A and B are shown apart, each in its own frame.
Chain A
């Protein structure tokens, strides 16, 4: 939004910054499409200038990349990366059908 657009928006009572409601989807899309992450199923919450990401990622490298990608989309936001690296053990028993 350039200066003129901001002035028009302000004069009409509209927000001059993008509402977090839409930023959430921008972050989700970046996390899905960016090759460093590629995760479609992470939960994204934006409140009070903080971006919280939760869910499971396959490796520590992907977990680190989550923070990087979110910072690239929202440089001014504080990133709370609550993702966990999923390492799944073998099952103990079997289900009889």
Chain B
């Protein structure tokens, strides 16, 4: 069984120390990997990332993240990446990573992604240079994701991690007028072309958790305001008789007893 914990839009500020720690302490009993779908910080400052990095540095399971639009606001995205990587978090942009979990290989490819909208109501790289640049950026990031997913073809499962949405269904709840700023079909198209088993994104706080790409890949919007939880748990390959993941109560008990009882 492969157990994934996923969360988006944690929006860490200088006053956020300790807010994730109780959950992170339980996490090794409940999951094999933690995925963060961007907006790690509130104002895009490296100091804010340092607060989150400090929170994550003692986490014993692999942490994989992409950056979000907030992480770019302070023009410190490179520093934020360095701070996070310094704490052991893998930050992906057009890149992939393979994680060994119980003899199985989980591939994770990631990009921040960008906007542009969805077929029928999408931006086109035509006209002013600013419009061309806007669409071109999304195309470049989608191409990076596709290549990274292709490179992970020899893994058992592939997950695509992004901040912006690849489909409009997980934006339901947001005003349709802003969907073009919340995601792009180009991201979904890239994932469908390369193939993967699951897509996580965030960004759309008023959106919907579950959706599916035109090619049939399951999509989960794990922005914290959407899931109303610190994170969500997803499991691949749950065999008969296996408990998918320990409940929060069981994990707390296991933590208190200093033992691991999850998912046997």
Chain A partners chain B: yes
A contacts, CB < 8 Å to B: 35, 38-41, 55-56, 58-59, 61-62, 86-97
CA–CA, A40 and B197, complex, Å: 31
A96: which of B19, B206, B244, B247 is its contact (CB, 8 Å)?
A: B244
B42 to chain A, nearest CB (A): 4
* Chain B residues proximal to chain A, CB less than 8 Å: 3, 11, 13, 15-16, 19, 23, 26, 30, 42-43, 70, 197-198, 205-206, 218, 224-225, 227-236, 238, 244-245, 247-248, 251
A89 CA to B19 CA, complexed, in Å: 11
Chain A at the B interface: SS class = loop
Q: List 27 A-B contacts (CB under 8 A).
A: A38-B70, A41-B206, A41-B225, A55-B205, A58-B11, A58-B15, A59-B16, A87-B19, A88-B227, A89-B248, A90-B23, A90-B229, A91-B230, A91-B233, A91-B248, A92-B248, A93-B233, A93-B245, A93-B247, A94-B3, A94-B30, A94-B233, A94-B235, A95-B233, A95-B234, A96-B235, A97-B236
A51 to chain B, nearest CB (A): 19
**Mostly helix, strand, loop or mixed at chain B's interface?**
loop
Q: How many A-B residue pairs have CB under 8 A?
A: 80
Q: In the assembly, what is the distance between CA of A97 and CA of B106, in Å?
A: 14
- Nearest-Cβ distance from residue B12 to partner chain A, whole angstroms: 8
